[in-house]
Amino acid sequence: MSTSEKPTSTITTPADRQIRIERVFDAPRDRVWRAFTDPKLVAQWWGRGHKLVIERMGVERGGHWRYVEHGPDGVHGFEGRYREVTPQERLVQTFEWDGMPGHVAVDTATFEDLGDGRTKVVTTSLFHTTEEHDGMLRSGMEPGLNQSYAALDRLLTTLG
Amino acid sequence: MSTSEKPTSTITTPADRQIRIERVFDAPRDRVWRAFTDPKLVAQWWGRGHKLVIERMGVERGGHWRYVEHGPDGVHGFEGRYREVTPQERLVQTFEWDGMPGHVAVDTATFEDLGDGRTKVVTTSLFHTTEEHDGMLRSGMEPGLNQSYAALDRLLTTLG
């Protein structure tokens, strides 16, 4: 299915230490999964159009990832480790920004085939404290997320 | 002060996602701090007498650590990152065991000079979930901890 509506992310707080993000992509699930797990593809959307260097990305249980984004406001490193990799279904990994080292969220992404060629991705982040949860929401997460997902929309149209 | 009593750790659960460990060492605070932050010293007690390879240990905010313990039951990797390093006062770092990748606790250690040549170390671990907290308590943490701290007692008597 194709739509002219601009897709939007729905961001909610299902519990005081959680952030839930729901987004529908106009592409089949295998293609969306590839875009989330193939380093060459991640490099094309995760950085919102900025240069993204993927230093590590071992997509398997226990593997590490580390991305460095070269943006107009400087260089930002992000890293974490994979807890669960279930192809096309679930990807669970930790997330840590160099600017707040030792503050670690656990991100659980699920990929749902909507049966009409579209895929719903739901990401739930769990923080150690409510302060970290609130800080993430206040950090300008939402515009950055929307830019990344818009870049992903464009990338998905080019994947065969 | 010297005592013939065998020192013991006090382990409590101040909140449902926390484990608190209190232990007094018969050594001045600067010596205890060194034993926790100098890789050559950590290698002599943290592994409970087993061979411990310190692969990384950059003791500063944002630095990483990774230890590999070669025990009779196999090889176990542990790693994390420093959130706060305040010499002789506070050491905050994340903790993750390779056997449960992506499950991360935050350990906050404080070092209190008791004024009589002894030092009280209080370590509080915060988990993302109560299940992780309960799993750590059930893992046989306490005997391992007591072996490590007994090895640390012996090491501290040798430090000048």
Give A77-106 pLDDT, tens digit per residue: 999 999 999 999 999 999 999 999 999 999
Which residues contact residue B127 at a Cβ distance below 8 angstroms, ignoring those fewer than 6 apart?
A128, B17, B18, B19, B103, B105, B133, B136
Q: Average pLDDT of chain B? A: 95
Chain B residues touching residue A126 (CB < 8 angstroms): 128-129
* Dist. CA B135–CA B139, nearest whole Å: 6
CB B96 within 8 A of CB B79: yes
Distance to chain A for B123, nearest Cα, Å = 16
Distance to chain B for A93, nearest Cα, Å = 6
Stretch B65-90: mean pLDDT: 97
How remote is the C-alpha of B31 from its chain's centroid? 15
Which residues contact residue B139 at a Cβ distance below 8 angstroms, ignoring those fewer than 6 apart?
none
DSSP H helices, B38-125, are 39-45
Structure tokens at B37: 């932050």
Q: Sheet holding A74-86: strands in order across?
A: A10-12, A18-25, A119-126, A105-113, A90-97, A74-86, A64-71, A51-57
- Determine whether the interchain pair A101/B61 forms a contact, defined as Cβ–Cβ distance below 8 Å: yes
- pLDDT confidence of A146, banded at 50, 70, 90? very high
* Dist. CA A50–CA A97, nearest whole Å: 17
Share of chain B above pLDDT 70, in %: 97
User: Which residue of B62, B126, B127 is in closest CB contact with A98?
Assistant: B62
- Determine whether the interchain pair A102/B84 forms a contact, defined as Cβ–Cβ distance below 8 Å: yes
- Determine whether the interchain pair A102/B96 forms a contact, defined as Cβ–Cβ distance below 8 Å: no
| Mutate: best of B65, B79, B83, partner A, most A CBs <10 A | B83
DSSP lists the bridge partners of residue A90 as A86, A110
Flag whether the pTM goes above 0.90.
yes
* Dist. CA A132–CA B72, nearest whole Å: 39
Q: Report the pLDDT value the prediction gives residue A1, as an integer from 0 to 100.
A: 45
Q: Is the pLDDT of residue A160 over 80?
A: no
* Dist. CA B85–CA B88, nearest whole Å: 9
CB A84 within 8 A of CB A90: yes
CB B21 within 8 A of CB B137: no
pLDDT: which is higher, A26 or A2:
A26
Comparing CA positions, the residue from A121, A16, A36, A120 lying closest to residue A82 is: A36
In this prediction, the answer to ipTM > 0.90 reads yes
Which residues contact residue A131 at a Cβ distance below 8 angstroms, ignoring those fewer than 6 apart?
none
Q: How far is CA A82 from CA A4, B6, B49, B125, in A?
A: 35, 42, 31, 21
Which residues contact residue A24 at a Cβ distance below 8 angstroms, ignoring those fewer than 6 apart?
A7, A114, A118, A119, A120, A121
